Amino acid sequence: MIRIHPEGRKILFYLLLILAAINLALFILFTNEWVHNISLIASIIIYILVLQFFRNPRRHTHIDSEKVIAPADGKIVAIEEIDEQEYFKDKRIQISIFMSPLNVHVNRYPVSGIIKYAKYHPGAYLVAWHPKSSLLNERTTVVVENEDGIPVMYKQIAGAVARRLVMYAKEGIKVLQGKDSGFIKFGSRVDVVLPLDANIMVKIGDKARGGEQVLAELK
């Protein structure tokens, strides 16, 4: 049984109505059975693709204050030192996860703790793997401070296809590692920004599994 994320229920309902209306109209306007069959098959394929995009599989998170887990499914496309100027204003290590439209798009908290910072930034829609997408694209920035007082930042970044970021984080609330932190609709990227002395446990090209895979250990 496929679990559907709440962010997709309304979209799936309206899509079902639209596809049903299109098929009904074609049935009335055309007598050719091939037209009916092709329309029906195409509608089923479209609905299944959108349905799988909003799937919300159960993940088993091993809670650990010293570990940072992947906030999203996808491919590790960058591990690099950056000059982070929005919040920390110093050098940090950034791990970037690219999500294709076929990945699970639920976002999860990478660590447990208190949210110290949460902000939405309007912006452009460069392709998600563009080097400047994390600075210029529509995005959200969240900083969670764990129980040891170590802050971890993660960013939701919209891409050329993704035009809707959903962020649940609010400053001051306590969150649990692995729980839903938001959703990005139709493909994009998530960046995780860590202290320079973090022990990175992944490499470029690895496939991340949100809520379960350890990205790094904090010191």
- Please write the tens of the pLDDT for every residue from 78-123: 999 999 999 999 999 999 999 887 788 889 999 999 999 999 998 7
**Full residue range of the structural domain in which residue 41 is found:** 6-53
Give 197-216 pLDDT, tens digit per residue: 999 999 999 999 999 999 99
Residue 1 lies in a domain: no
Average pLDDT over residues 176-191: 87
| One domain, residues 72 and 41 | no
| One domain, residues 94 and 172 | yes
Residue 60 lies in a domain: no
Residue 143 lies in a domain: yes
Please tell me the predicted confidence (pLDDT) of residue 132. Answer: 62
Q: What percent of the chain has pLDDT over 70?
A: 90
What distance in Å separates the CA atoms of residue 22 and residue 14, rounded to the nearest whole number? 12
pLDDT band for 138, please (50, 70, 90 cuts).
confident
Active-site choice (133, 134, 181, 188): 188
| One domain, residues 46 and 77 | no
Please tell me the predicted confidence (pLDDT) of residue 77. Answer: 92
| One domain, residues 28 and 129 | no
Q: How many structural domains does the chain have?
A: 2
What distance in Å separates the CA atoms of residue 181 and residue 169, rounded to the nearest whole number? 6
Residue 58 lies in a domain: no
Give 155-164 pLDDT, tens digit per residue: 998 866 555 7
| One domain, residues 23 and 84 | no
Report which of 51, 39, 57 is spatially closest to residue 9, judged by C-alpha positions: 51
CATH number at 71 reads 2.70.70
Please tell me the predicted confidence (pLDDT) of residue 163. Answer: 57
| One domain, residues 80 and 153 | yes
Q: Does residue 134 have an active-site annotation?
A: no
Q: Which of 36-40, 52-56, 92-96, 138-142 has the lowest mean pLDDT?
A: 52-56
Report which of 98, 99, 13 is spatially closest to residue 50, judged by C-alpha positions: 13
